[in-house]
Amino acid sequence: MKTVVVGATGLVGQEILKVMEERNFPYDELYLVASARNVGKEIAFKEKRYTIISMEEACNLAADVAIFSAGGSTSLEWAPRFADKGTTVIDNSSAWRMDPSKKLIVPEINGHVLRIDDRIIANPNCSTIQMVMVLAPLHVRYKLRRIVVSTYQSVTGTGKDGVQQLMNERQGLEGSKVYPHPIDMNALPHIDVFLDNGYTKEEMKMVHETRKILGDASVGVTATTVRVPTIGGHSEAVNAEFHSEFDLDEVRELLDGTPGVVVMDDVKNNVYPMPILSQGRDEVFVGRMRRDESQPKTLNLWIVADNLRKGAATNAVQIAEYMMENSLVIS
């Protein structure tokens, strides 16, 4: 089993390697790819040193699985070339998510739609993953009508440069900036570029990806995404309206029994999800569950997850594991 990790030196790439080690991901040969300037450098992984190779060299290996985390333009150029060699590509960028010929997968929700001829598989946006992990089982039970979501997203979602800007500002140091305004002691209602409709690409990703993963284009979704000076993970305030009436105790019981979801909902003892608690964890945490008293059949939730883990690396590795476990990888 030959496995390739593309973008191995980035925040998500490093997290992918960490997750692979923790989960004892099965491979016989591992190859690491990064930008051209890093080719020839070495990375230590599981008490062994690996030399960074080029995209061309990795592609020609005809590996069984390649996990991409190197940006949309790289994926658009190289994923089809890897796929033509028979490699199953799991892509973390937005390049293939809304392509109707490509599957957009959260294994716990829609892994069953994967087939052996799926050579390019899209990993959803981090904010979408954590939201649908909680809402999917509720959609099955009560059927969603409309979702209103506001996010509070970690600087880690911007990568190493976002973290560096925050740390520089916190220490009073000059340095390169990836945000148009200071991020420390601030909140920026601006993630990705603004579109003609006044929304950002990040906000519209949540709209379109949620519908695709749930397999229901009738669900109304509106989003406001905000960058905040946190490290541990993304937080979301979600207002979900259903077609059917729900019972709060039943909602808690349903989510408590959902794999990958942890209920933290004891406000009397100040127990609720926070980014600082989610850092380094694979689970999606949900709390502050309460009825919307302004209209019927509507639920408020607070959802938190480490965006580098379940929001990116862990979900991608889980997709690869699912493909292997179900004999969907051509080896």
For 272, residues 6+ apart whose C-beta sits below 8 A from its C-beta are: 264, 265, 266, 287, 288, 302
Sign of CA dihedral 129, 133, 134, 138: positive
Do 303 and 235 contact (CB within 8 A), yes or no? yes
**Amino acid found at 92:** N
What is the separation of C-alpha 295 from the centre of its chain, rounded to a whole number of angstroms?
31
SS3 at position 152: strand
For 126, residues 6+ apart whose C-beta sits below 8 A from its C-beta are: 157, 234, 305, 307, 308, 311, 312
Do 135 and 211 contact (CB within 8 A), yes or no? no
Bridge partners, residue 67, by sequence: 5, 90
Sign of CA dihedral 54, 65, 133, 111: positive
For 209, residues 6+ apart whose C-beta sits below 8 A from its C-beta are: 97, 98, 104, 124, 125, 128
Maximum alpha-carbon separation in the chain: 60
What gap in Å lies between CA 264 and CA 235, rounded to an integer? 14
DSSP alpha helix (H) spans, 65-125: 72-84, 107-110
What are the structure tokens assigned to 285, written together?
A: 């945490």
Do 150 and 237 contact (CB within 8 A), yes or no? yes
**Which residue in the list 112, 126, 208, 243 is annotated as catalytic?**
126
Q: How far is CA 236 from CA 86, 231, 251, in A?
A: 38, 15, 18
**Which residue in the list 181, 208, 234, 243 is annotated as catalytic?**
234
Annotation says 190 is catalytic: no
Catalytic residues: 126, 234
